[in-house]
Amino acid sequence: MTLRDMSECGLALRRLGDNALSMEEVSNNIIQYLYNNFVDSSPNDKSCVLIRFFKTHSYRDLTPDLQKHAKEILSTPTVSNNLKCLTMLATAGELPEWNSRHQSVGHKAIPLANEDAIARMPMLSQLVQQLGLNPGIVVQPDPNLLTDLEQRMYNVFYVPNALDSPYIPAQESFVIPFNVKSVLGFGGLLPSGNIYSILMFLRIFIPPMVLNLFRPLALNIKTAILPFDDGCVFQEDFQRLSNMEAVENYQNQSFNYLNSKIATLNQLLDVSEQSTITQSDKLEKAISNLHETLEHLQKTQIQLIQSEKMSSLGQMIAGIAHEINNPVNFIAGNVNYAEEYIHSLLDLLKLYQEKFYNVPLEIKQKIEEIELEFLTSDLNKIMKSMRIGTERIRDIVVSLRNFSRLDEAEIKEVDIHSGIDSTLMILEHRLKPRGNYQKIEIIKNYGDLPPIECYPGQINQVFMNILGNAIDALELGVGEESPVQTPQIAIYTEIVKEEWVVIKIVDNGVGMTQEVSSKLFDPFFTTKPVGKGTGLGLFISYQIVIEKHSGKLVCNSQIGKGTEFMIKIPMKNPG
């Protein structure tokens, strides 16, 4: 059920009295409309087990058969003409006998002799209370209160769980066999002092959140039946009229009627506006929640994509490192033996040269041809270079493994400096002079840091993103206002208040405007050309530092004065 559904229902209910000749006819139209249209999923799947329309009448206004019925209930020979009786005007339900008020046994006309009589009927008592009335007003309306009450008394009668409810009678004969789940009613007070109400016994559960949607229906129904208040109530009343003048009188086009109709329409407008405001607030909240959810999903998607990329990169790096490491270990392990064997051969050659002076001409020519003296001295240099090269490759392999840290996805204590150095090792090819780019000088001002609790692979990812951006900035050239001509990246680390580790990465590049720096951590924001930057690196870095490490990531930059990124994370990760 939606606000639109209730608005369409209210409009239809208001029009059901346009061509009717009595309140009984209007009430039958209303009951049939609700019974046929209040469905669960299909027109044949009706939600109402039973639905009835009641209105209070004075005894004198009842038809003769209803007066007889009320007198039988009271078991008294005389009845006061002013006695109020709760009278059924219309009914519809699953059983044939529920579709005519004349076939009802106990609910045709219920005398309301006094307040105790109402109290003895729990459902009626609860109905009166929830409609905002008190039993005394129902039994004996006070003319001095009627105008005020009639213009503000309307509400919804609601029993969410009919089973075992003290307010719903006939549990064994009605509620249980017909699977009645909830009972819903709505009604109010008429200018005549009589109350009207519709009771719906439903086989579906009605949640409390939709109750306010039903409140306007009470006023729409009141608008439909209002012309017949104190007029043509029963069909028999209209049949007794003999001329149009009498009909017009019974249609009650009096000042009181018009005043009541205006008040009712005002009430309906107030309720509808309040309902619209409430629904609008809910809609705006839902839209806001939807935006937040969408934003969260986008961030999560970005993080998943980036994490998958980093995981794939880490696996590739680890695989490459493993494949390189095997042959490097083979070479490194044999370099020492090769060097030892070569030295032994050179010593033997030298010994031959010392012991044999008369060397054959052919051997002398070969010595000159191969430049034995140069070969001997250069061979030592070659072996030394090979040893240095294998050590360098092994250092690179260690750095690759340290950067990827596939085996360190959880929080653990690590050396932050080792992570920075490994990242610099991977980026070293970009630090060297090439083409029009100068060599980038790295200045390390490392403090004395103990092992820090963090996610090592993710922190290394932050270092990679920030250092990569610094190199990009330096490749654009040093700002004209900067006195520094050599591209530099300075890295500072320190402990603050014995609780925090601060890492600062400072470049003397071109810098950024305040507008650009304020958007650095937004997803997909980039100043790089199409195809070179995705705008995700710093966004992911921000998420890693802020959300994963409960830290801070701040950027300070000025045009021509370079850029500083400050990473601040706790020494002990609170997660």
Q: DSSP letters along 188-252, please?
A: EE-TTS-EEEEEEEESS---GGGHHHHHHHHHHHHHHHGGGTTS--SHHHHHH--SHHHHHHHTT
Mean pLDDT of the chain: 78
d(CA 574, CA 495): 17
User: Residue 70's pLDDT band (boundaries 50, 70, 90)?
Assistant: confident
Most confident of 35-39, 361-365, 444-448: 444-448
* Phi, psi values for residue 38, rounded to 5°: -85, 85
The predicted structure's pLDDT at residue 561: 85
Tokens representing residue 227 in the block: 């012309």
Residues 6+ apart with CB under 8 A from 562: 473, 479, 482, 506, 507, 508, 509, 510, 511
Categorize the per-residue pLDDT at 137 as very low, low, confident or very high, splitting at 50, 70 and 90: low
What DSSP designation does 438 have?
Answer: P
**Residue 109 and residue 66 in contact, taking contact as beta carbons nearer than 8 Å:** yes
Range with lowest mean pLDDT among 212-221, 354-363, 405-414, 433-442: 405-414
- Do residues 528 and 461 lie in contact, with contact meaning Cβ atoms separated by under 8 Å? no
Q: Quote the pLDDT of residue 535.
A: 65
Tell me which of 43 and 331 has the higher pLDDT: 331
Residue 190: pLDDT band by 50, 70, 90 thresholds?
confident
Question: Which residue stretches of 356-453 are H helix?
Answer: 361-370, 372-404, 416-426, 428-431
Confidence of residue 507 (pLDDT cuts 50, 70, 90): very high
**Cα pseudo-dihedral 73, 75, 77, 82, rounded to 10:** -40
Q: Are 9 and 186 in contact (CB under 8 A)?
A: no
Give the confidence band of 273 by pLDDT, cuts at 50, 70, 90: low
Give the Cα separation of 211 and 548 in Å (integer): 44
Retrieve residue 528's tokens. 């790089």
Task: For residues 104 and 71, give the distance between their C-alpha atoms in angstroms, rounded to a whole number.
Answer: 16
In this model, does residue 446 exceed pLDDT 90?
yes
125 confidence band (pLDDT: 50, 70, 90): confident
The pTM for the full model equals 0.49
How far apart are alpha carbons 466 and 507 in whole angstroms?
10
pLDDT value of position 460: 85
Which pLDDT band holds residue 489 (cuts at 50, 70, 90)?
very high
CA distances from 165 to 52, 123, 199, 207 (A): 19, 10, 15, 16
Q: Burial of 573 by CB count in 10 Å (0-12 exposed, 13-18 middle, 19+ buried)?
A: middle
Burial status of residue 330 (CB atoms within 10 A of its CB: 0-12, 13-18, 19 or more): exposed
Q: Which of 7-16, 155-164, 193-202, 303-312 has the highest mean pLDDT?
A: 193-202
* Residue 141, C-beta contacts closer than 8 angstroms, at least 6 positions apart: 193, 194
How much is the pLDDT for 400? 66
Residue written as tokens 């970005």? 302
The pair of three-digit structure tokens given for residue 189, joined into one six-digit string: 């007070």
For residue 480, pLDDT beyond 80: no
Give the contacts of 320 (CB within 8 A, at least 6 positions apart).
Answer: 400
- Nearest alpha-carbon partner for 168 in 196, 201, 195: 201
* Half-sphere exposure (Cβ direction) of 514: Cα atoms closer than 13 Å: 0
Is the pLDDT at 102 greater than 80? The verdict is: yes
| Residue 26, amino acid | V
Tokens of 411: 């929080």
pLDDT at residue 253, rounded to an integer: 46
Q: Cβ neighbours of residue 190 under 8 Å, at least 6 residues apart?
A: 55, 150, 196, 222, 225, 226, 229, 260
Residues in the chain, total = 575
On the question of pLDDT at 148 being above 60, the answer is no
Between 93 and 330, whose confidence is greater? 93
- The pLDDT tens digits for 13-68 are 888 887 888 889 999 999 999 999 888 766 678 889 999 999 988 888 888 889 88
CB 137 within 8 A of CB 113: no
What local confidence, expressed as pLDDT, does residue 293 receive? 79
